[in-house]
Structure 1
Amino acid sequence: MNRPPPHTPVNEPPRVGHPPAAPVEDDGDTIHIGELIGTVLQYKWLIAAVTALALCGGIFAAFTATPIYRSDALLQVEEKGKSLSALQDVQAIMSDNVTVSAELEILRSRMILGRVVDRLGLEIFARPAYPPVFGDAFARRHGGSELAGARFGMERYAWGGERIRIESLEVPPSRIGQGMTLLTGQNGMYTLRDRDSRILVTGRVGEPATGSDIQIFISELHARPGTEFIVGRRSRGAAIDALRGQFEVRERGRGSGVLELALRGPDRASLTTVLDEIMNAYVRQNVEHRSAEAENTLVFLESQLPLLKSQLDAAEAAYNNYRQTRGSVDLTMETRSVLGSIVEVDNDIIRLQQQREELRQRYTAEHPRMVALDAQIRRLSTRRNQLEGQVSELPDTQQTALRLRRDVEVSTALYTSLLHSAQQLRVARAGTVGDARIIDSAVVSRGPVAPSQQRILLISVLLGLMAGLGLVFLIRALRVVVEDPETIEKHLGLPVYATIPHSKAEEAISRQSRRGRISGELLAITRPTDDAVESLRSLRTTIHFALLDSSRGSLLITGPSQGVGKSFISKNLGVVLAQSGKTVVLVDADLRKGHMHREFSISREGGVTEYIAGTIELPRIIRATPQDGLKVVTTGQIPPNPSELLMHERFTSLLDTLSGMFDIVIVDAPPILAVSDAAIIARNLGGATLLVARAGRHPIQEIEQSVKRLSQAGVNVKGVIFNDLDVNRQRYRYGYRGYVYRYGYRS
Structure 2
Amino acid sequence: MANEGDQVQQTSNDDEIDLLDLLSRLWAGKFTIFVFIVLAGLAGIFYILNTPRTYQADGLLQLEEKSSQLALPSSLADLSGDSPRAVTEIEIIKSRLVLGRAVSRLNLAWIAEPVEAPIVGHLLATQSFSLPDWAFLSPFARQGDEIELQLLDVPAAWLGEDILLEAAGTGAFDVWLPDGRTVPGQVGDLLIDPETGFSLRVGVLVGQTGRQYRLVQLPETEAIQRVRERLTVAEQGRNSGILRLEYRSQSPELARRTLDAIAQAYLAQNAERSAAEAESSLAFIEGQIPDARQAVQEAEAALNAYRQEQQAINLGAEGEALLTQIRAVETELLELDALEEELAERYTPNHPEYQRLLGARGRAEARLAELEEEVRTLPATQREVINLTQDVELAQEVFIQLRNRAQELEVLRASTIGNVRVIDSARTAIRPVAPRTMVVLALSLILGTVLGMTWVLLRSYLRKTVDGAEDLEALGLPVFATLNKHPAAARSKNSARSLPLVAIETPDSLFVEGLRSLRTSLHFAMLDAKNKSLVLTSTAPGSGKSLISANLAAVAAEAGQRVCLMDADMRRGQQRKYFDIPRDNPGLAQVLAGETSFEDAVLQSKVDRLSVLPAGPFPPNPAELLMRPDLAALLARLDQEFDLTIIDAPPVLAVTDPVVLGRAAGAVIAVTRFAQTHPGEVQAMLKVLGTSGVKVSGAILNDFDPKKAKSRGGYGYAYNTRYSYK
Q: TM-score, normalised by structure 2?
A: 0.77
- TM-superposed deviation, 1:112: 1.0
Q: Within the alignment, does 1:708 sit opposite 2:667 as a pair?
A: no
- 2:386 aligns to what? none
- 1:673 aligns to what? 653
Which of these residues, 566, 572, 578, is aligned with residue 587 of structure 1? Answer: 566
SS class of match (1:545)? helix
Amino acid at match of 2:640: G
Q: Within the alignment, does 1:631 sit opposite 2:614 as a pair?
A: no
Q: Within the alignment, does 1:460 sit opposite 2:444 as a pair?
A: yes
Q: 1:170 to 1:728 in 2, by over 3 A?
A: same
Quote the Cα distance in structure 1 between the aligned partners of 2:483 and 2:132: 63
- TM-superposed deviation, 1:419: 7.9
1:504-555 Cα distance to aligned partner (Å, 9 max, x none): 34314544x33x3xx1411222222333222222212211221232244332
1:588-610 Cα distance to aligned partner (Å, 9 max, x none): 12233322112211135332233
Which of these residues, 52, 62, 73, is aligned with residue 59 of structure 2? Answer: 73
Which of these residues, 166, 170, 176, is aligned with residue 193 of structure 1? Answer: 176
Q: Would you say the 8 A contact 1:54–1:460 is kept in 2?
A: yes
Which piece of structure 1 moves more, 413-422 or 215-224?
413-422
Q: Counterparts of 1:30-179 in structure 2 under 5 Å?
A: 32-37=18-23, 39-40=25-26, 45-81=31-67, 99-141=85-127, 151-153=133-135, 154-179=137-162
Q: Would you say the 8 A contact 1:298–1:422 is kept in 2?
A: yes
Quote the Cα distance in structure 2 between the aligned partners of 1:416 and 1:346: 22
Quote the Cα distance in structure 2 between the aligned partners of 1:666 and 1:578: 11
Which piece of structure 1 moves more, 571-580 or 649-658?
649-658
- 2:478 aligns to what? 495
Unaligned runs of at least 5 residues, structure 2: 1-9, 70-82, 304-314, 349-354, 377-389
Which of these residues, 668, 680, 700, is aligned with residue 721 of structure 1? Answer: 700
- 1:731 aligns to what? 710
1:160-208 Cα distance to aligned partner (Å, 9 max, x none): 3333332222211111111212233455443322146512464551446
Which piece of structure 1 moves more, 603-612 or 564-573?
603-612
Amino acid at match of 1:126: A
Which of these residues, 617, 622, 627, is aligned with residue 602 of structure 2? Answer: 622
SS class of match (2:697)? strand
SS class of match (2:439)? helix
- 2:586 aligns to what? 606
CA RMSD, 1 decimal: 4.7
Which of these residues, 236, 245, 249, is aligned with residue 233 of structure 2? Answer: 249
Which piece of structure 1 moves more, 126-135 or 164-173?
126-135
Length, aligned pairs only: 652
Q: Would you say the 8 A contact 1:189–1:205 is kept in 2?
A: no
Quote the Cα distance in structure 2 between the aligned partners of 1:181 and 1:734: 62
Q: Would you say the 8 A contact 1:201–1:210 is kept in 2?
A: no
Q: Within the alignment, does 1:447 sit opposite 2:427 as a pair?
A: no
1:324-369 Cα distance to aligned partner (Å, 9 max, x none): 99x999x9xxxx9xx97998599979x99xxxxxxxxxxxxxxxxx
Quote the Cα distance in structure 1 between the aligned partners of 2:418 and 2:431: 35
SS class of match (2:539)? coil
SS class of match (1:99)? helix
- TM-superposed deviation, 1:67: 0.9
Unaligned runs of at least 5 residues, structure 1: 1-23, 84-96, 353-375, 377-382
Q: Within the alignment, does 1:230 sit opposite 2:214 as a pair?
A: yes
- TM-superposed deviation, 1:138: 3.1
Which of these residues, 188, 204, 213, is aligned with residue 205 of structure 1? Answer: 188
SS class of match (2:228)? helix
Amino acid at match of 1:199: T
1:436-477 Cα distance to aligned partner (Å, 9 max, x none): 222222222223221123333333333334444444455456
SS class of match (1:717)? coil
Q: Would you say the 8 A contact 1:35–1:729 is kept in 2?
A: no
Which of these residues, 663, 676, 699, is aligned with residue 683 of structure 1? Answer: 663
Quote the Cα distance in structure 2 between the aligned partners of 1:149 and 1:702: 52
Q: TM-score, normalised by structure 1?
A: 0.75
Q: 1:735 to 1:665 in 2, by over 3 A?
A: closer
- TM-superposed deviation, 1:267: 1.7
1:652-689 Cα distance to aligned partner (Å, 9 max, x none): 2322222232222212222233333323223323x222
Quote the Cα distance in structure 2 between the aligned partners of 1:439 and 1:63: 36
Q: 1:596 to 1:167 in 2, by over 3 A?
A: same
1:291-338 Cα distance to aligned partner (Å, 9 max, x none): 222221333456678889999999xx9xxx9xx99x999x9xxxx9xx
Amino acid at match of 1:637: P
Which piece of structure 1 moves more, 634-643 or 570-579?
634-643
Q: 1:191 to 1:705 in 2, by over 3 A?
A: closer
Amino acid at match of 1:264: R
Q: Counterparts of 1:432-443 in structure 2 under 5 Å?
A: 432-443=416-427
Q: 1:99 to 1:294 in 2, by over 3 A?
A: same
Quote the Cα distance in structure 2 between the aligned partners of 1:452 and 1:738: 52
Q: Within the alignment, does 1:431 sit opposite 2:431 as a pair?
A: no
Quote the Cα distance in structure 2 between the aligned partners of 1:670 and 1:223: 68
SS class of match (2:672)? strand
Quote the Cα distance in structure 2 between the aligned partners of 1:254 and 1:32: 52
1:112-151 Cα distance to aligned partner (Å, 9 max, x none): 11001111111122122344443433333469xxxx9994
SS class of match (1:494)? coil
Quote the Cα distance in structure 1 between the aligned partners of 2:433 and 2:187: 38
- 2:74 aligns to what? none
SS class of match (1:122)? coil
Which of these residues, 556, 559, 565, is aligned with residue 577 of structure 1? Answer: 556
Q: Would you say the 8 A contact 1:683–1:714 is kept in 2?
A: yes
Quote the Cα distance in structure 1 between the aligned partners of 2:412 and 2:679: 97
Amino acid at match of 1:704: Q
- TM-superposed deviation, 1:620: 3.1
1:402-433 Cα distance to aligned partner (Å, 9 max, x none): 9x9xx99x999999998876554343223112
Quote the Cα distance in structure 1 between the aligned partners of 2:482 and 2:56: 65
Which piece of structure 1 moves more, 731-740 or 708-717?
731-740
Quote the Cα distance in structure 2 between the aligned partners of 1:602 and 1:150: 56
Amino acid at match of 1:238: E
Q: Counterparts of 1:365-380 in structure 2 under 5 Å?
A: none
- 2:637 aligns to what? 657
Q: Counterparts of 1:548-563 in structure 2 under 5 Å?
A: 548-563=527-542
- 1:537 aligns to what? 516
Q: Would you say the 8 A contact 2:115–2:212 is kept in 1?
A: yes
Quote the Cα distance in structure 2 between the aligned partners of 1:485 and 1:440: 76
SS class of match (2:511)? helix
Q: Would you say the 8 A contact 2:467–2:714 is kept in 1?
A: no
Q: Would you say the 8 A contact 2:469–2:715 is kept in 1?
A: no
Quote the Cα distance in structure 2 between the aligned partners of 1:474 and 1:706: 27
- TM-superposed deviation, 1:233: 1.2
Q: Would you say the 8 A contact 1:730–1:739 is kept in 2?
A: no
